[in-house]
Structure 1
Amino acid sequence: MHLWIYLVFLWKAVLCEPLKDHMLCTDLFTCYSAHYTSVAYDSAFCENKGVLTTMSTEQEKQSILQLLENTNSGNVSFWIGLKREKQQCTQKELKLRGFRWKEGNSNQTEVSKWIKEPALTCTDSRCGTLKVSLNRNKVVQEWGWEEASCKTHYGFICKYRDEEICKALQIKGMSVVNYTAHYQLTKLSVQYLPSKTLANVTCQSGKTVVLKCQNQAWQLTSNGYTDVEYMCLCKEGHIQSDEGKCVDIDECQKNPCEFKCINTVGSFACECDKNKGYALGEDKKSCVLQKGIQIGSGSTRMPFGDITSIVNDMDLNAGEKRLTESSTRLSSTHQPLNERNPAPTSASGFTTLVHDEDFKSKETRSNVFIPVVVGIVVLVLLIVIVVGVFKCCFRKSSKKLKSRKREPSNGSIDLSAKNTDSAQHVNENAIEKENNYVAG
């Protein structure tokens, strides 16, 4: 029976793959490494100034449990930085039961979970272990602390402070990446990597490069080129040189602009002749007049000043005909915007109007017609106001004249009445004298 047990252990030791040491780094510039080599407590060595880990905060607890997932199934024990020295007694009322963290010799903790209470003693040194139970899916189900003799052999968990950790690589066009830490570990997490980690990158094109984590950034070990994001696939407007670097493309070599092209990093910009009144069109490549009419089938255009003089001289009834004649005269002497595109388009060598000429001539007429209509309306209103004022003044003067005429007529009536009375009185006196004479 005992022979079968020894054979089983021998078969596991020979055929089973040993557990791999691995590391997990967090965004708090802290890394944790799990080592499966069984040693006594005082023999647990953490390289690069690491220490046996604390487990005093919730954040630290979660990081350590995440570190141990996906590693093995069953029960696993690790030394952590808990120790109670000889002649220091167990204190059940404290969270750490009289134990202290090796880092900083502190007895402070937010986390306290003992699977088995420590023995009440003051005579022996005791060390703390982290016991973890993982199910078949390699997920942590149970965990807790337990004291043990410091001479017992277990694996151990180390803690490192690293101010230069790097985020995992995210490179466009990357196919495969393999990380190698300087801690001689065989497995790393893929979220954050410790400083000095080497990354062997294979691009989809087959190109391979080696990067190194330094000062929180990935750098090429060969020439120090730091534009790592576009190392495999350059961003728009760039192309890889023979040295593997992304260099800017000069888009102006393809003559994309009508007037002038300016090359920029990753793109280009067009300009037009502003002195002649031209501006970029909606396509940001062609040039159009800010105001005026475009003529010709090529890039030849008439200056706005010439068009304005034509519109001012033409008759509204025969505007279209005269605009055509004037445009034909001016096109023979006007210089084109782009000398690569000649202006003449007909057999006779003269430039004809484009299709939008009628629309623009009508627009010019409407621009002249509206102010004229407004002026006429204002003039009519002024005439109405003047006539109204004149009528009001005329009525007042008529009333005064009539009142003046009435006063002399009344006086004459009174005077005539007086004259009549006087005449009548004279007649009566004459008749009286005549009667006296007859009687006498």
Structure 2
Amino acid sequence: MAGWLFCCWTPLWIVLFLLSNVSADPSSSSKYTLHQTRANFEDAMQRCSPGVLTTIATQQEVDDILKLIIDSVPLQENFTFWVGLKKAKNQCVVLSQPLKGFRWTENSSEESQVSRWAQQPAETCTGVLCAALMGKFDGSTVSWGLIPVTCKSSYHFICKLKNRPTDVCQHPSIPETRFLTLDSDNSSLVQVECWSTVRLNLLCSGRPAMWRTLDGLPVNFSTACLKCSNGFQKDAFGSCVDVDECANPDGSPCRRSCVNTEGSYRCVCSDADGEQHDEDSPPCQDQVTVEDSGALSGILIPVLIAVAALVVLVVVVAVTVKCCLMRRSKKRAIKAAEKMAMKSKQEKDSFQTANEKTAT
């Protein structure tokens, strides 16, 4: 009886064991996405969040990645994609190891069943290096290999997302939302436009995955679209931050000095001891009176000087004109006297001539 039970149950346990191994295969629960936009290594890692830059540590992963490339890359075209392989600054290149001293960014592992390098990295223990998948698809086969490159290079990239509940964010439900727009290149990024004109960028990231602002803080859906209190405004991370009214490009709201405060501002003046007073307080009013008097004096004195100069100018002009007129009158009188004298002489000469003719 026991032997019969053993013979019946043994195959069943073997089948269950194999099924458990299949379901535990990391690649079996992975989803790969190929991004055609270019980015440096760090940006590519962030755009893959909450997933990771793909690993190619098993033959199954290699087959899945190459199939994705065949379906996406045009014929006879070279390709280069970021994968999640990196050497830190304090790590050394070891040419005898499959990954040459590089590690997978997903789990910091140096293990790999597949090792194919199109270009060997230079032996070094300084500097940061990243690895990219380079190759070409000729229509029937894909030739490929890893190359060491600087992490600041710009390539397309391949992401891997585990199909686990903790890796996927639920569709965000935010009150007072007008539009929710999914980023066309990064499915983990959502742009939120609220009826209150507030705009937010939310990123699905972290473990467990949840919607966060760009600075990594979890989003409070109940307040995300609410307006801030007076004197505050939303920043790019969705947080209410103080508005600096004193830095208004249209001009200061104060006649004197402006001091920004949390949610508001103060208009102040400073006395001789450096102590600040509200702009409408008596010390500030006294300073305004004194300053206004000084300003009036500063305006009045130049005006008086200008008036005095004008009067002097008028007098000078009048005197000059009078002198000219007197000189002209004198000349006319002299000319008239000369004409009269000449006329008298002519008459006298005529009289004498007449007398001489009579005597003759």
Q: TM-score, normalised by structure 2?
A: 0.37
**Radius of gyration: which is bigger?**
1
Q: Which has the higher contact order (CA 8 A, sep 6+)?
A: 2
More helix by share: 2
